[in-house]
Amino acid sequence: MPSLAVVSRFRSWPRGLLVGLVLFALGVPARCLGLEPIPSKLVVLTFDDSVRSHFEVVRPILIKYGFGATFFITEGFDFATNKRDYMTWDEIAELHRDGFEIGNHTRDHVAITEQRIDQVAEQLTAIRDACRQHQIPDPVSFAWPGNAFTTQALERLKQLGIRFARRGGAPEFPYERGRGCGYEPGTDHPLLIPTAGDARPDWEFDDFRRALDQGGGGKVIVLQFHGVPDTAHPWVNTSPDKFEMYMSHLAREKYQVIAVRDLAKYVDPDVAPQDPEGVIVDRQARLARGQSFDSLRKPRDERELRFWLVNMAEHHRYSIAEMQAATGLSVAELSDALTRFGLTSADGFGASATRPDATPTPIAAQAEQPAVLRVLPYPGGRHPRTGFRDGALRPQRETKLSLFAPWEDGGYVVAEFPAAIWWEPATGRELLYLAHTHVPTVWDRQQLELQPVEWQAIPGGWAMERSLPNGVSFGTQAIPGQDHVRFEMWVRNGTPETLRGVVVQNCVMLARATGFEAQSGQNTVIRHPLVACRNAAGDAWVITAWQSCQRPWANPPCPCIHSDPQFPDCLPGQTRHLTGWVSFYRGTDIEGEFDRIERLLTPE
């Protein structure tokens, strides 16, 4: 493990080798204000194809249980002439008056493919116009007919006023069994929401239960039904008795059942991945390797459970669903543990008030010296980015620390040191390590799965270390002070070859920093190796830099800022070190602050 002598080395740096700083005012992003936490038992109920039984059978059952739902309307098949199997528009309008959502399923039930992009507007506006004729609001939700989709149609759907669109469970799962996965807001494109379960005539309760198991931990269960019964399409028929059994279970287990449009209470439809199919490809790869879609880590014992719940409830203010996503524990298990420890989740689960002795302090100095910045391991379960989440799928918490502001309700940024490590062996540039899944690493290609590691408390701070299968190891230390945090990152070469071209991506994520949530590069100042992001008020800054920085930059969609260093070549058996620094600044003279930092870090 590297020595804490890093603290004494700062003043001996030669000019030009600056440390990394983070100066910030923090909190919850304004774009998140007004959005409710995703309930742990949230179901979106959808019905396709304008089937008559939707009105005659489904409607009274939903009204009985007080459930919301979306009915996706098409005039396809023989809708115009077959009123034994399909609803009338008067019945569809009655569903609207009952409070249910009327969604768009195209006029002719046309599968939207690359070859039919030019038909999208005609197909959707026909249903929209029919809705207007019957005093039904313009649809804002869409279901892809036949569950076929193309990303080339996404922009056209937006132009037509569609905010959310549901697809099927394919291509992650075969169509035939109606299986699927939970919807991951912010990761899944809002116009490519996956179905967790597409009911089939041979479904039994275990199939329905499997669909429900796809939710929780911030994921949403989207259920797809056709007719109840469906005499025109028997391959997607659901019997009324089975449907009643499914709905009574949802009511008994206190699921919150909503329409697609109601997702807007919990999800910002304007937050979309840059690569709409990235998460789909990731799921397919994980299924092929037999891996879970989740990044949860179950606490090993009561002491560890208590530490993480205090971390999440007291400091990060997690909802119960976010705690689920981080730990894999059930709502009942978490609620019991929160009550036992005198803690309360952000959405009210657990104890009504926290006992004075309920908060353990992993670093004694933080309790003895209130001025020392609070630095805690990031728990996971809540994505640290606002956007571009397809560039950080399944984020691992092992290299992430939350740095909290020293003033009340300051919030935090997430320092990911490192986010990625590249190197240049004789065979060419390779990704040696990645703190999430976006680009395959050398270990992914060899089908080697890295085991999780955690930050460990050390005197006065935190440290993490990881050993890689080829004998290379690396680690990071963080030592908080009154208004700063010192970092040291190291790499050790346990291979017989010289390590060359070791470049590190070091990321500071701003999504939980009040005033810094704007996804714009216009609030960024770069003076190599320093990168500064200004808050909306213009009186506080987040600045980061690292010794031996090769690339200072910002990524507005996240939003985050980077100062990415390169280690010197590392001989076999050798260890190399890089140093960084994190501190807080509130003011408007950013150039003066840069100058002050340079003077502070330049040897006398």
Distance of CA 220 to the CA centre of its chain: 12
430 vs 594: which has the higher pLDDT: 430
**pLDDT tens profile 567-599:** 999 999 999 999 988 777 888 998 988 887 777
User: Which pLDDT value is given to residue 362?
Assistant: 41
Binned at pLDDT 50, 70 and 90, residue 65 comes out as very high
SS3 101: strand
Q: Report d(CA 383, CA 265) in Å as an integer.
A: 18
CA distance 385 to 398: 16
Lowest mean per-residue pLDDT among 44-58, 120-134, 250-264, 580-594 = 580-594
Q: State the Cα–Cα distance between residues 101 and 94, nearest whole angstrom.
A: 11
Region 71-76: what's the mean pLDDT? Answer: 98
What does the pLDDT read at residue 18? 32
Total-model pTM: 0.78
pLDDT value of position 367: 38
Residue 238: closest CA among 521, 6, 48, 454: 48
pLDDT of 51 > 50? The answer is yes
- The amino acid that residue 4 corresponds to is L
**603 pLDDT band (50/70/90 cuts)?**
low
How far apart, in whole angstroms, are the C-alpha atoms of residue 42 and residue 250? 10
How high is the pLDDT of residue 22? 33
> Which of the residue ranges 44-53, 67-76, 121-130, 312-321 would you say has the lowest mean pLDDT?
312-321
Using left for φ > 0, alpha for ψ between -120 and 50, and beta otherwise, residue 218 falls in left
- Residue 103 φ/ψ, nearest 5 degrees: -105, 170
Q: Which residues pair with 590 in a beta bridge?
A: none
Residue among 487, 447, 482, 481 at smallest CA distance from 464: 487
Residue 24: predicted pLDDT? 31
Least confident stretch, 202-206, 365-369, 515-519: 365-369
Which stretch of DSSP H or E encloses residue 102?
strand 101-104
Do 221 and 258 form a contact (C-beta atoms < 8 A)? no
| Residue 566: per-residue pLDDT | 97
Contacts of 245 (CB under 8 A, 6+ apart): 205
CA distance linking residue 324 with residue 296, whole number of Å: 8
Q: 104: pLDDT confidence band, cut at 50, 70 and 90?
A: very high
Residues in CB range of 294: below 8 A, 6 or more apart: 217, 325, 328
pLDDT at 460 over 70: yes
The letter for the amino acid at 46 is T
Tokens of 417: 């040191």
**How confident is the model over 429-454, as a mean pLDDT?**
89
Helix (H) and strand (E) counts for the chain? 15, 23
Distance from the Cα of residue 486 to its chain's centroid: 28
| Cα distance between residue 500 and residue 423, in whole Å | 6
Per-residue DSSP letter, 471: S
Mean pLDDT of 13-28: 32
What average pLDDT does range 486-504 have in this prediction? 96
pLDDT above 70 for 23:
no
Q: Which of 83-92, 107-116, 296-305, 359-368 has the lowest mean pLDDT?
A: 359-368
In this model, does residue 481 exceed pLDDT 60? yes
Would you say residue 455 has pLDDT above 50?
A: yes
Contact 88, 79 (CB under 8 A): no
Distance CA 429, CA 536 (A): 39
Q: Is 437 exposed, middle or buried (0-12, 13-18, 19+ CB in 10 A)?
A: buried
Spatial separation of the C-alpha atoms in residues 25 and 563, rounded to whole Å: 19
Amino acid in the structure at residue 338:
L
Q: What is the pLDDT of residue 289?
A: 79
**What average pLDDT does this structure show over 388-410?**
82
Whether residue 127 is predicted with pLDDT greater than 90 in this model: the reply is: yes
DSSP string, 283-297: HHHHHHTT--S----
Give the chain's mean pLDDT. 88
Least reliable range by pLDDT among 3-7, 101-105, 443-447, 503-507: 3-7
Terminal C-alpha separation, the chain: 30
Burial class (CB in 10 A: 0-12, 13-18, 19+), 526: middle
Q: Find the radius of gyration of the CA atoms of the chain.
A: 27
> What six digits make up the tokens of 177?
């069994």
User: Residue 213's pLDDT band (boundaries 50, 70, 90)?
Assistant: very high
Q: Nearest-CA neighbor of 167 among 138, 217, 154?
A: 154
User: Residue 545 pLDDT more than 70?
Assistant: yes
Q: What integer pLDDT is reported at residue 601 of this predicted model?
A: 61
Mean pLDDT throughout 397-403?
A: 94
Residues 6+ apart with CB under 8 A from 219: 38, 182, 183, 184, 325
Interval 167-187: pLDDT, tens: 999 999 999 889 999 999 988
Residues 6+ apart with CB under 8 A from 184: 218, 219, 279
**508: part of which helix (H) or strand (E)?**
strand 503-509
What integer pLDDT is reported at residue 31 of this predicted model? Answer: 40
Residue 243 CA: distances (Å) to CA of 72, 84, 175, 177, 248: 18, 20, 20, 17, 8
- Does residue 258 carry a pLDDT above 70? yes
Statement: 42-254 belongs to CATH 3.20.20.370: yes
Compute CA distances 223 → 152, 233, 269, 280, 403, whole Å: 25, 18, 19, 18, 39
Q: Are 485 and 373 in contact (CB under 8 A)?
A: yes
Q: What is the mean pLDDT of residues 414-437?
A: 93
Domain boundaries, the chain: 18-32+380-588, 42-254, 302-362
Helix (H) or strand (E) holding 309: helix 302-310
Q: Tokens 């799928």 identify what position?
A: 393
pLDDT band at 602 (very low <50, low <70, confident <90, very high): low
